[in-house]
């Protein structure tokens, strides 16, 4: 019986393939009027662009409505994230407004300054679990989804839509 050895070193002159570094999270944007580093909800420019596109597709005006971000019990890890459009904030919601001026791809476009801010609504119970969170949007060949980067999450499922604290 012949033995086959596994080569664990790179032959002389050959170069090992470089390891891919994990993609860094883009810088998050704090809500208008909120100090940098505040424990509110932050959103990346990619997520804001996607929210703007989706609101336009659903015919929801940023002046009237916004994106509701919250949590519900259930899911693989105990709590699940949920997002949906809402026509107006509720009485006790925390409202985060994000200016659209920096989202415009054309430099100096005066129309961008006139656009109302994109708003995110968070109910008080969900805020306990979401404070300090960053909402990002990922678009790859395999998936298109919002990513919740939550400092309170101690465990999450493989799909990233549920977590536990």
Domain boundaries, the chain: 42-164
Please list the alpha-helical segments (H only) found in 20-66.
45-57
Q: How far apart are CA 121 and CA 70, in angstroms?
A: 8
C-alpha 23, offset from chain centre? 14
CATH of domain 42-164: 2.60.300.12
Q: How far apart are CA 22 and CA 1, in angstroms?
A: 43
| Radius of gyration over every alpha carbon of the chain, rounded to an integer in angstroms | 21
List the chain pLDDT tens, one digit each, 165 residues.
444 444 444 445 545 455 444 455 556 666 665 655 567 889 999 999 999 999 999 999 888 899 999 988 876 667 888 899 998 999 999 999 998 876 765 554 555 557 889 999 999 999 988 888 899 999 888 888 888 888 877 656 555 555 555
pTM of structure: 0.70
């Amino acid at each position: 019986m012949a033995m086959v050895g596994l080569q664990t070193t790179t032959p002389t002159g050959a170069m090992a393939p470089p390891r891919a570094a994990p993609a860094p999270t883009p810088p998050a944007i704090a809500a208008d009027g909120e100090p940098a580093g505040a424990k509110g909800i932050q959103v990346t420019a990619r997520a804001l662009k996607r929210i703007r596109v989706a609101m336009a597709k659903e015919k929801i005006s940023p002046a009237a409505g916004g994106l509701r971000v919250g949590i519900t019990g259930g899911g693989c890890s105990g709590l699940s994230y949920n997002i949906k459009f809402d026509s107006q904030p509720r009485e006790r919601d925390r409202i985060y407004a994000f200016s659209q001026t920096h989202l415009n791809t054309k430099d100096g476009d005066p129309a961008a300054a006139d656009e109302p801010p994109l708003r995110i609504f968070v109910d008080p119970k969900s805020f306990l679990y979401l404070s300090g969170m960053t909402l990002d949007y990922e678009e790859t060949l395999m998936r298109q989804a919002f990513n919740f980067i939550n400092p309170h999450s101690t465990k999450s499922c493989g799909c990233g839509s549920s977590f536990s604290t």
